[in-house]
Structure 1
Amino acid sequence: MPIPADRSFRALTGGAAPRVKVVDIGANPIDADPPYAAMLRAGDAEVVGFEPNRAALALLDARKGPLERYFPHAVGDGARHRLHICQAPGMTSLLEPDPAVLALFHGFPDWGRVLATEEVATRRLDDIPETAGADLLKLDIQGAELMVLQNAEARLRDAVAIQAEVEFLPLYKGQPLFAEVEAFLRARGFMLHRFFPTVSRAVAPMMVNNDPYAALGQLVWADAVFIRDLTRPGALSGRQLLALAAILHDAYGAYDIAFRLLAEQDRRDGGARAGGYLAALQAPLRQAA
Structure 2
Amino acid sequence: MAAAVSPVSDLVCCTRLTGVVDIGANPIDGDPPYRAMLDAGLCTVTGFEPQPDALAELVRRKGPLETYLPYAVGDGGTHRLQITQASGMTSMFRPDTRRLALFNGFTEWGAVIDEVDVPTCRLDDIDEIGVVDLLKIDIQGGELMTFRNGRAKLANAVAIQTEVSFIALYEGQPVFGEIDLELRAQGFVPHSFPAIKRWAIAPTVFGGNFRIGQNQLLEADVAYVRDFAYPERLSDEQLSQLAMIAFHVYGSHDLAHFCILELSRRGSTPADAGARFFERINA
Interval containing the TM-score (normalised by the shorter chain)? over 0.9
Contact 1:23 1:47 (8 Å CA) reproduced = yes
| Residue of 26, 29, 51 corresponding to 2:27 | 29
Structure 1: any 5+ residue segments left out of the alignment?
285-289
- Give TM-score, length-normalised by structure 2: 0.95
**Aligned-pair distance for 1:8?**
2.7
Query: Structure 1 residue 277 and structure 2 residue 277: aligned?
Result: yes
Retained in 1: the 8 A contact 2:12–2:263?
Answer: no
**How many residues end up aligned between the 2 structures?**
278
Percent of aligned pairs with the same residue?
Answer: 47
Equivalent pair of 2:162/2:222 in contact (CA under 8 Å): yes
Q: Which moved more, 1:273-282 or 1:176-185?
A: 273-282
Q: Residues of 1 paired with 2:138 and 2:278: CA distance?
A: 34
Residue 11 of structure 2 contacts residue 260 of structure 2 at CA under 8 Å; is this kept in 1? no
Q: How does 1:19-58 map to 2 (within 5 A)?
A: 19-58=17-56
Residues 9 and 250 in structure 1, CA contact (< 8 A), matched pair in contact too = no
Following superposition of structure 1 onto structure 2, how do residues 228-267 of structure 1 map, counting pairs within 5 Å?
A: 228-267=226-265
Deviations 1:42-69 (A, max 9, x none): 1100000000010111111111111000
Q: 1:16 and 1:236 mapped to 2: Cα distance?
A: 13
Q: In 2, are the aligned partners of 1:10 and 1:16 still within 8 Å (CA)?
A: no
Q: Which amino acid aligns with 2:238?
A: Q
RMSD over equivalenced CA pairs, Å: 1.4
* 1:95 paired residue among 93, 96, 100: 93
2:27 match: secondary structure? coil
CA contact (8 A) 2:24 2:47 kept: yes
Match of 2:198 in 1: 200
Q: Which amino acid aligns with 2:71?
A: H
Cα displacement (A) at 1:15: 7.2
Change (3 A) 1:131 1:270: closer
- What residue in structure 2 maps to residue 74 of structure 1? 72
1:85 aligns with 2:83: yes
1:51–1:57 CA contact under 8 A, matched in 2: yes
Alpha carbons 1:8, 1:249 under 8 Å: kept:
no
Task: Structure 2 unaligned segments of length 5 or more: list them.
Answer: none
Following superposition of structure 1 onto structure 2, how do residues 155-174 of structure 1 map, counting pairs within 5 Å? 155-174=153-172
TM-score norm. by structure 1 comes to 0.93
Offset at residue 270 of structure 1 (A) = 5.4
- Is 2:5–2:40's contact at 8 Å kept on the other side of the alignment? no
Q: Which residue of 1 aligns with 2:127?
A: 129
Aligned equivalents of 2:7, 2:250: Cα separation in 1:
12
**Deviation string, structure 1 residues 93-134 (Cα, Å, up to 9, x no partner):** 000100111111100001000011010000001000122311
Q: Check the 8 A contact 2:91/2:141 in 1, yes or no.
A: yes
Moved over 2 A (4+): 5-11, 13-18, 270-273
Distance verdict in 2 for CA 1:7–1:132, change over 3 Å: closer
CA distance in 2, matches of 1:151, 1:162: 15
Q: What is the rounded CA distance, in whole Å, between the counterparts of 2:269 and 2:6 in structure 1?
A: 20
**1:268 Cα deviation (Å)?**
1.0
- Whichever structure has more helix as a proportion of its residues is 1
Specify the code of the residue in structure 2 equivalent to 1:154. A
Structure 1 pair 237–15 and aligned structure 2 pair: CA distance change class (3 A): closer
Amino acid at match of 2:68: Y
Q: Which amino acid aligns with 2:248?
A: D
User: 1:8 & 1:251 partners in 2: Cα distance?
Assistant: 12
- State the shift of 1:235 in Å: 1.5
